[in-house]
């Protein structure tokens, strides 16, 4: 671990500090070039944009630019360490946007005193960008922040910790239930955790067919039920009218366990209580709610996913967020709505059922991958994700009426 720590520090420090840089996209070698790039030539696009703001997409990089914005209140599994400490994570997100979807990205870390001050700061700079990715903002403030920014901004605003997690979880979960011969509409679901990711995951599963009354959510005080008087408005959406109070109560005969909480909170004894052919997604990182080896030792009939790359079925947001923004920006969507999220779920799900190209096997370190218990979700290095997910999202944006331009001819047809 000490060796890995040093490698991680060296990676970020050498040979140049950080993970991103800015490059120019136009010639700037001669006096004529500079006259076009800046004064006096730059005045012409300024006039065009002043006359019609949409011309910013024609004459600037706005349409390919995403802001990754945080206040550092929920950094990975490290907690509230402040905006500056979050900068390596935000740079990492910018790296992923560029690597997987060729989207330019800049990280912005905001210091603020109140939630409203954060909202005002982001709203004031939003027009600079084609889209905004909110990141590592703690619940419940993240719900208020995203809702307010969606209302105030005219570009897509997407809190990846909520919706990216939800999209990948839903795609993998529905496929896992298919493998297990189960229908999401009938599945009994236990969700350990009640923060931003948990609420978003369960809401999206409901949009994909799960029944709210079949979902049991737990926080640090146990089952969230209708007789509790300590629930915020987001937890209250999942208050179940039940006499069940403990994890053991709700997990008995459950079909699904989704963990978005912390390490080692799901005991083997609880796994043994689940219904035949269960599904467990233990997504706490780096240490899951239960180690796969332990879970499989208890249940041979299990499909299991984690947030880690060294186990099968990695639930990884990079499977969706770069491609969702790619599709949304390419049709100038005003938002990322539920139709676009569900379209992303369906595209990711479908890809896992197709034959896996050799290049993906090589990149992922596998000799073979076939849809089944150990492969219910695509690998992050699969290049087919970009065209499939981006196109599905763009089509959904057009069909749901939030796109400002039509789908380009033959867009992302692979």
User: Would residue 258 count as lying in a domain?
Assistant: no
pLDDT band at residue 255, thresholds of 50, 70 and 90? very high
User: Would residue 146 count as lying in a domain?
Assistant: no
User: Would residue 322 count as lying in a domain?
Assistant: yes
DSSP 355: P
Are the C-beta atoms of 295 and 280 separated by less than 8 Å? yes
Q: What is the pTM of this model?
A: 0.95
Enzyme catalytic residues: 38, 93
User: Would residue 363 count as lying in a domain?
Assistant: yes
User: Would residue 370 count as lying in a domain?
Assistant: yes
User: Would residue 293 count as lying in a domain?
Assistant: no
H-helix or E-strand spanning residue 396: helix 385-399
What is the reported pLDDT for 1? 60
User: Would residue 157 count as lying in a domain?
Assistant: no
Q: Within 10 A of 211 (CB to CB), how many other CB atoms are there? A: 14
Q: Which residues of 332-347 are buried (b: 16+ CB within 10 A; e: fewer)?
A: bbbbbbebbbbbbbbb
Domains in the chain: how many in total? 1
User: Which residues are CB-neighbours of 168 under 8 A, at least 6 positions away?
Assistant: 315, 316, 317, 319, 320, 348, 377
User: Would residue 391 count as lying in a domain?
Assistant: yes
What is the reported pLDDT for 414? 65
Edge-first strand listing for the sheet containing 104-109: 104-109, 65-70, 131-134, 157-159
Peptide bond into 286 cis (omega under 30): yes
Average pLDDT over residues 328-342: 98
What mean pLDDT value characterizes the chain? 96
pLDDT band at residue 77, thresholds of 50, 70 and 90? confident
Alpha helices in 181-267, H assignment, sequence order: 196-207, 233-236, 247-251
Tell me which residue range forms the domain holding 347.
Answer: 317-399
Please say if the pLDDT value at position 215 is more than 90: yes
Give the span between the Cα atoms of 343 and 390, in whole angstroms. 10
Task: Phi first, then psi: give them for residue 36, nearest 5 degrees.
Answer: -80, -40
């Amino acid at each position: 671990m000490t060796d890995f720590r040093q490698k991680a520090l060296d990676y970020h420090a050498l040979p140049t500090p950080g993970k991103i840089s800015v490059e120019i996209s136009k010639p700037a070698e001669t006096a004529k070039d500079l006259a076009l790039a800046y004064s006096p030539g730059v005045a012409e696009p300024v006039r065009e944009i002043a006359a019609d703001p949409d011309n910013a997409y024609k004459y600037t990089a706005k349409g390919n630019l995403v802001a990754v914005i945080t206040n550092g209140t929920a950094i990975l599994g490290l907690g509230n360490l402040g905006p500056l400490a979050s900068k390596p994570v935000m740079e990492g997100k910018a790296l992923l946007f560029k690597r997987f979807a060729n989207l330019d990205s800049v990280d912005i870390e905001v210091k603020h005193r109140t939630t409203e001050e954060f909202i005002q700061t982001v709203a004031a700079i939003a027009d600079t960008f084609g889209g905004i990715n909110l990141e590592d903002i703690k619940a419940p403030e993240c719900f208020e922040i995203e809702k307010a920014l969606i209302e105030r901004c005219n570009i897509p605003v997407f809190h990846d910790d909520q919706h990216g997690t939800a999209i990948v979880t839903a795609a993998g979960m529905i496929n896992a239930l298919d493998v297990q011969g189960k229908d999401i509409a009938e599945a009994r679901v236990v969700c350990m955790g009640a923060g931003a990711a948990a609420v978003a995951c369960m809401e999206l599963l409901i949009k994909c067919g799960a029944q709210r009354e079949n979902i049991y959510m737990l926080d640090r005080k146990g089952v969230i039920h209708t007789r509790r008087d300590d629930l915020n408005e987001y937890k209250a959406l999942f208050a179940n009218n039940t006499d069940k109070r403990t994890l053991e109560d709700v997990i008995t005969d459950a079909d699904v366990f989704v963990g978005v909480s912390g390490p080692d909170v799901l005991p083997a004894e609880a796994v043994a209580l689940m219904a035949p052919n269960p599904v467990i997604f233990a997504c706490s990182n780096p240490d899951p709610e239960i180690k796969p080896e332990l879970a499989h030792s208890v249940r041979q009939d299990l499909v299991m996913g984690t947030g880690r790359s060294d186990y099968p079925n990695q639930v990884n947001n990079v499977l969706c967020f770069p491609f969702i923004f790619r599709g949304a920006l390419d049709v100038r969507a005003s938002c990322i709505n539920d139709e676009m999220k569900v379209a992303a779920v369906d595209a990711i799900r479908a890809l896992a059922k197709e034959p896996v190209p050799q290049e993906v096997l090589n990149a992922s370190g596998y000799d073979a991958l076939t849809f089944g218990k150990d492969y219910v979700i695509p690998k992050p290095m699969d290049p087919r994700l970009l065209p499939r997910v981006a196109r599905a999202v763009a089509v959904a944006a057009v069909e749901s009426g939030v796109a400002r331009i039509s789908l380009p001819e033959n867009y992302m047809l692979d």
